[in-house]
């Protein structure tokens, strides 16, 4: 897709999102807030897995760190929620970087193992530091009101705050990916030896990517703490990490837009599936995971891109019999 | 001292469970370079099957055998239908497929049998066995015995039968095995079947302790990962030794290190995994991974 086309698309999507509170309210609007939050978290995971080719099955851990950082700052020190979000992001940047350093030595499956174990252990760790985290009871917060006497409900205000943060995070990520850094990340993913020969500092890029990825997910976690006004250890279990992974698989590995599609999927599909049975959402998630890996490994965004290229290339005559294939990422171990 | 001996014994007992599941993981890893993240959930599902059989009035050991057979067949079907199409895809793809399998098993079990915890019978007597001043749980001893018997059977199978030899050959050198007339793809399927059966033993042995529920195996799986990592993912013997070691360490640390207790058990496993991966990624008995660039 050309640069202008994606800019137009971005503006249209943001305009629709900004007008949304005119049409939906209450719980439905809260769900869209959640979509924005998931989109940021998926963006973080996608930077790591989709663009840089590093596994993480434990990003729920960073989501939890962000959420608890924000909640503790609000609850213990009465810091305004707006400040807790960037602080949570920076904290996760540091934590992610520190986790990313040793993770450099772990390739492919071993990194998957370590992060998966991290995801399994998170609720226990949270419960252990009861003094800070409130144990299994969690922390109850209060929802922020709209400032400056704006005539809107708490949910509407929160929606706009979240949307604002989402747009900023997406612009940052899009710029990051398009530039020199993005090319370095993809080069490391596709062939790290070749990348190093070209002068890319693979170790530094990989651990910084881990940090940035964790920061995105941490910001999402902080926003979720603000929006839900409650944090409890058992909501940060291994299934949260898998949910984020499902988001990027369905949306599209190595795609910016895919994260929005993935976030919509993980937010709304369980809601509909819940009507069938309590267990149905996860059965459906599992089936989608497997089917997507068979038929569209680059998610909805990848499939759309392919479709776009096919339609464009059928109009434009190919030069020199060169086959036009989409630049889809090849995740390698 | 009595406490120490007792803790080591119960460490060995839980270690047997970890060893069974770790062995299942290693069997699949050796043959296909894949870690099956759904191994624990498949075991949980098999345990539910056996619960249903017991409820229908089957005798314990009858249900035990029937469950193993069902798990074996289930493992083969899963390999043939779900794993085979992505066999040669990047690791990320295969990991995601096994994660899909994990959530499907988990939610199906919740769907069919609900999320309520169910008591699960132990085939061993309730009365503890006393040796001097040390008391052993009969279930603990039984668990160790079952694990050792299974291991012996597996050893005999792989060491002394033509089929076992063919399976080992297929895992070690698929190309040459194919030239020698071994149906490599089916050997992999058999491996999945055997792994599923082994996992089922772990599930059946742990269910009386933890009570049966769909999330029962989460903690066990992380310990099995730790066991397989410690022993080395390329070594079945390592998986078993690793399982017992991890079981003992878990119990001793829980007893003697006061700030850990039972609340940070999973974190201990996580720490073990990370430390082993950083210090000796191939594990105690594993082959170091070398690759030509």
pLDDT surpasses 50 at B284: yes
Residue A233 gets which letter from DSSP?
G
CB B109 within 8 A of CB A286: no
pLDDT of residue A323: 45
CB contact under 8 A, B107 and A287: no
pLDDT of residue B200: 92
Which residues face B212 on adjacent strands? B118
**Owner of token pair 């897709």:** A1
Give the DSSP H or E segment for A230: strand A230-231
- Per-residue tokens: A115: 């992060």
Closest CA to A67 of A43, A84, A44: A84
pLDDT surpasses 90 at B73: yes
Structural domain contains residue A185:
yes
Integer Cα distance of A183 and A178 in angstroms: 7
* Alpha helices, H only, chain A: 3-23, 26-46, 59-77, 81-103, 108-128, 130-133, 154-178, 180-190, 192-197, 202-228, 238-251, 257-273, 280-295, 299-315
Predicted confidence (pLDDT) per residue in B75-132, tens digit: 999 999 988 888 888 888 888 899 999 989 988 898 888 888 888 888 887 777 777 7
Higher pLDDT, A321 or B253: B253
pTM, rounded to two decimals: 0.84
Percentage of chain A lying above the pLDDT 90 cut: 10
Q: Coil, helix or strand for A296? A: coil
CB contact under 8 A, B92 and A331: yes
Q: For the residues A99-114, what does the mean pLDDT come to? A: 79
At a CB cut-off of 8 Å and minimum separation 6, what does A299 contact? A248, A249, A250, A251, A252, A253, A255, A258, A261, A262, A292
Structural domain contains residue A251:
yes
At a CB cut-off of 8 Å and minimum separation 6, what does A171 contact? none
pLDDT of residue A194: 85
CB contact under 8 A, B103 and A277: no
pLDDT of residue A315: 59
Structural domain contains residue A101:
yes
Name the residue among B93, B111, B269 with its Cβ closest to that of A277.
Answer: B111
Name the residue among A128, A280, A330 with its Cβ closest to that of B263.
Answer: A128
Distances (CA, A) of B53 to A30, B69, B70: 45, 13, 12
Range of the domain at B85: 15-126+134-216
pLDDT of residue B261: 64
CA angle B195–A333–B107, rounded 5-degree value: 45
Structural domain contains residue B169:
yes
pLDDT of residue A325: 46
Integer Cα distance of A184 and A190 in angstroms: 10
Closest CA to A217 of A75, A57, A108, A80: A57
> Which residues 41-80 of B have a C-beta within 8 angstroms of A?
none
Domain harbouring A161, CATH code = 1.10.3470
Nearest-10 Cα torsion for A223, A225, A227, A232? 150
Name the residue among B35, B90, B111 with its Cβ closest to that of A113.
Answer: B35
pLDDT of residue A108: 74
Which residues face B129 on adjacent strands? B136
CA angle A74–A78–A84, rounded 5-degree value: 45
CB contact under 8 A, A289 and B218: no
pLDDT of residue A321: 44
Structural domain contains residue A13:
no
Structural domain contains residue A168:
yes
**Would you give the distance in Å from CA A173 to the centre of its chain?**
11
Closest CA to B240 of B287, B189, B198: B198
Structural domain contains residue A113:
yes
Predicted confidence (pLDDT) per residue in B156-209, tens digit: 988 899 888 888 888 888 888 889 888 888 888 888 999 999 899 989 988 888
Q: For the residues A123-129, what does the mean pLDDT come to? A: 81
CA pseudo-torsion sign B201, B205, B208, B210: negative
CB B18 within 8 A of CB B231: no
Which residues face B118 on adjacent strands? B212
pLDDT of residue B68: 93
Among B99, B101, B112, the strongest candidate for a mutation testing the A interface, having the largest count of A CBs within 10 A, is: B99
pLDDT of residue B277: 81
CB contact under 8 A, B99 and A110: no
Structural domain contains residue B291:
no
Percentage of chain A lying above the pLDDT 70 cut: 93
CB A232 within 8 A of CB A140: no
pLDDT surpasses 50 at A320: no
Q: For the residues A189-198, what does the mean pLDDT come to? A: 83
Residue A194 CB burial class (10 angstroms; 0-12, 13-18, ≥19)? exposed
Closest chain B C-alpha to A98 CA, distance in angstroms? 13
Which residues face B135 on adjacent strands? B130
Q: For the residues A175-186, what does the mean pLDDT come to? A: 85
CB contact under 8 A, A333 and B91: yes
pLDDT of residue B126: 76
Range of the domain at A237: 26-315
Predicted confidence (pLDDT) per residue in B9-57, tens digit: 888 888 888 998 998 898 888 877 788 899 999 999 999 999 999 988 8
Structural domain contains residue B282:
no
Give the DSSP H or E segment for B16: helix B2-32
Q: Coil, helix or strand for A138? A: coil
Predicted confidence (pLDDT) per residue in A231-278, tens digit: 888 888 888 898 899 899 888 888 888 888 899 888 888 888 777 777
- Angle formed by the axes of helices A108-128 and B265-279, to 10°? 150
How many CB pairs lie under 8 A apart between chains A and B? 141
Number of domains chain B contains: 1
pLDDT of residue A288: 86
Residue A179 gets which letter from DSSP?
S
pLDDT surpasses 80 at B262: no
Number of domains chain A contains: 1
Q: Coil, helix or strand for B281? A: coil
Closest CA to A51 of A179, A240, A171: A179
Confidence of residue A203 (pLDDT cuts 50, 70, 90): confident
pLDDT of residue A45: 92
ipTM confidence score: 0.81
């Amino acid at each position: 897709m050309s640069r202008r086309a994606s800019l137009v698309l971005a503006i249209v999507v943001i305009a629709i999102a900004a007008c949304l509170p005119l049409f939906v309210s209450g719980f439905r609007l809260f769900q869209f807030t959640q979509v924005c939050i998931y989109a940021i978290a998926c963006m973080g995971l996608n930077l790591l897995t989709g663009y840089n080719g590093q596994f993480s099955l434990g990003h729920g851990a960073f989501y939890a760190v962000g959420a608890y950082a924000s909640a503790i700052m609000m609850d213990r020190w009465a810091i305004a929620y707006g400040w807790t979000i960037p602080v949570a992001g920076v904290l996760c940047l540091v934590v992610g970087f520190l986790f990313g350093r040793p993770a450099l030595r772990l390739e492919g499956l071993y990194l998957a193992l370590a992060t998966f174990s991290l995801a399994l252990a998170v609720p226990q760790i949270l419960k252990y530091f009861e003094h800070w985290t409130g144990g299994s009871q969690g922390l109850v917060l209060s929802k922020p009101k709209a400032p400056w006497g704006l005539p809107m409900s708490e949910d509407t205000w929160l929606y706009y705050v979240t949307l604002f943060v989402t747009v900023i995070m997406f612009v940052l990520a899009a710029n990051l990916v398009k530039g020199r850094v993005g090319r370095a990340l993809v080069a490391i993913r596709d062939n790290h030896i070749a990348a190093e020969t070209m002068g890319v500092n693979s170790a530094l890029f990989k651990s910084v990517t881990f940090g940035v990825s964790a920061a995105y997910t941490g910001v999402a976690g902080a926003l979720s703490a603000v929006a839900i006004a409650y944090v409890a250890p058992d909501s940060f279990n291994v299934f949260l990490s898998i949910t984020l992974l499902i988001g990027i698989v369905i949306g599209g590995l190595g795609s910016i837009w895919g994260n929005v599609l993935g976030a919509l999927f993980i937010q709304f599909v369980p809601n509909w599936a819940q009507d069938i049975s309590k267990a149905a959402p996860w059965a459906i998630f599992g089936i989608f995971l497997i089917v997507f890996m068979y038929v569209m490994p680059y998610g909805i965004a990848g499939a759309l891109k392919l479709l776009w290229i096919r339609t464009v290339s059928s109009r434009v005559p190919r030069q020199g019999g060169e086959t036009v294939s989409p630049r889809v990422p090849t995740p390698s171990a | 001292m009595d406490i120490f001996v007792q803790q080591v014994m119960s460490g060995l007992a839980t270690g047997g469970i970890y060893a069974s599941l770790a062995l299942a993981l290693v069997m699949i890893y050796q043959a296909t370079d894949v870690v099956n993240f759904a191994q624990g959930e498949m075991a949980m599902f098999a345990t539910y099957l056996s619960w249903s059989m017991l409820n229908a009035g089957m005798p314990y050991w009858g249900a035990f055998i029937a469950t193993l057979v069902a798990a074996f067949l289930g493992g083969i079907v899963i390999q043939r239908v779900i794993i085979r199409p992505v066999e040669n895809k990047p690791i990320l793809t295969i990991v995601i497929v096994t994660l899909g399998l994990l959530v499907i098993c988990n939610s199906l079990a919740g769907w069919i049998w609900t999320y309520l915890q169910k008591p699960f019978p132990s085939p061993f007597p309730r009365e503890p066995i006393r040796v001097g001043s040390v008391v052993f749980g009969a279930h603990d001893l039984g668990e160790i015995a079952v694990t050792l018997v299974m291991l012996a059977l597996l050893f005999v199978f792989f060491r002394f039968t033509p089929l076992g030899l063919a399976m080992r050959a297929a895992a070690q050198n698929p190309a040459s095995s194919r030239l020698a007339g071994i149906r490599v793809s089916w050997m992999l399927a058999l491996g999945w079947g055997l792994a599923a059966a082994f996992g089922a033993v772990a599930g059946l042995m742990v269910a009386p302790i933890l009570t049966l529920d769909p999330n029962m195996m989460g903690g066990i799986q992380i310990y099995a990962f730790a066991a397989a990592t410690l022993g080395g993912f390329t070594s079945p013997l390592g998986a078993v030794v690793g399982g017992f070691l991890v079981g003992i360490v878990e119990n001793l640390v829980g007893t003697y290190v006061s700030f850990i207790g039972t609340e940070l058990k999973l974190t201990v496993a996580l720490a073990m995994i990370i430390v082993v991966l950083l210090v000796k990624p191939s594990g105690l008995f594993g082959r170091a991974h070398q690759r030509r660039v």
